[in-house]
Amino acid sequence: MRPAVRAALAVLGIGVAAGLGYGAWQGLRSLAFFKLRRVEVLGLEHGDARAVVAALRLPVGASTFDRLGDLGARVAALDGVAEATVERRLPGTLVVRVREREAVALVPAARRLALLAADGTLLPFPASRGAVDLPVLETPDSLAARFLARLGDEAPALFARVERGRREGEDMVLEEQGRRWRFRAAAGGEAFRDGAAVAADLARRGIAWRELDARLEGQVVVRRAGA
């Protein structure tokens, strides 16, 4: 783009930020230079960009100087989307930034694996879309989903090791490579750190284990392999 054109667009951007009069705004909308040519969707991991564009419901002949209004809210209303914003990139592009609801597990559903959100509800995205490496829960469970969300936030290295999980009453049982971890379903950072520290110490000492039980506050019970 020529320097003169870039300078003109910069001036226009300042004018937009300052607030254009109705007549000036309408004049810009009518210019072919600002005709909408492209919609760029950013932030999708599992969703379909075509569904995002369809949700905008843009009219034929739209301009980048059309009012943005509730475009972001229209995208945010899509199932599986947490929030969305829409902004202009002059001269002819709309940029849609999407944050999807976080998936914390996979669960069996209708003869396939479905993505489970942190609140225990199923997400509408195909589990096969993208590289999904999440623990598998036996059933959708809001308490288990919240536990896994905390585990992912507070102990991501441990979360990455978990292959399967299930809730047993007020407890969570996690499985990885033939070994089990036990936590209270309401457990948080301290229990996660204690369990990870014990597992690291056992690995340094070359001690094989089959279960680490971190359900007691301040303690981790080790059940050794073969015991």
Average pLDDT over residues 195-223: 94
pLDDT above 70: residue 9: no
The mean of the pLDDT values for the chain is: 86
Helix (H, G, I), strand (E, B) or coil at 96: strand
Q: Which of 23-27, 32-36, 144-148, 222-226 has the lowest mean pLDDT?
A: 23-27
pLDDT surpasses 60 at 13 = no
pLDDT at residue 141 is higher than 70? yes
When pLDDT is cut at 50, 70 and 90, the band that residue 163 belongs to is very high
The answer, yes or no, to whether residue 27 has pLDDT greater than 80, is no
pLDDT at 7: 42
State the pTM of this model.
Answer: 0.74
Residue 100 phi/psi, 5-degree rounding, is -80, 155
Which pLDDT score is estimated for 70?
A: 95
Give the number of residues written for the chain: 227
The answer to whether the CB of 189 falls within 8 A of the CB of 199 is no
The yes-or-no verdict on residue 132 having pLDDT over 90 is no
Strand segments, DSSP code E, in the chain are 38-42, 81-89, 93-100, 103-109, 112-117, 122-126, 136-137, 164-168, 171-176, 179-184, 209-213, 221-224
Given a cut of 70, is residue 130 above it in pLDDT?
Answer: no
Q: How far is CA 120 from the centre of its chain?
A: 14
Give the pLDDT of residue 26: 64
Residue 12 has pLDDT above 70, yes or no: no
Q: Which of 11-15, 70-74, 156-160 has the lowest mean pLDDT?
A: 11-15
| Segment 94-116, tens digit of pLDDT | 999 999 998 999 998 877 889 99
pLDDT-derived band of residue 30, with 50, 70 and 90 as boundaries?
low
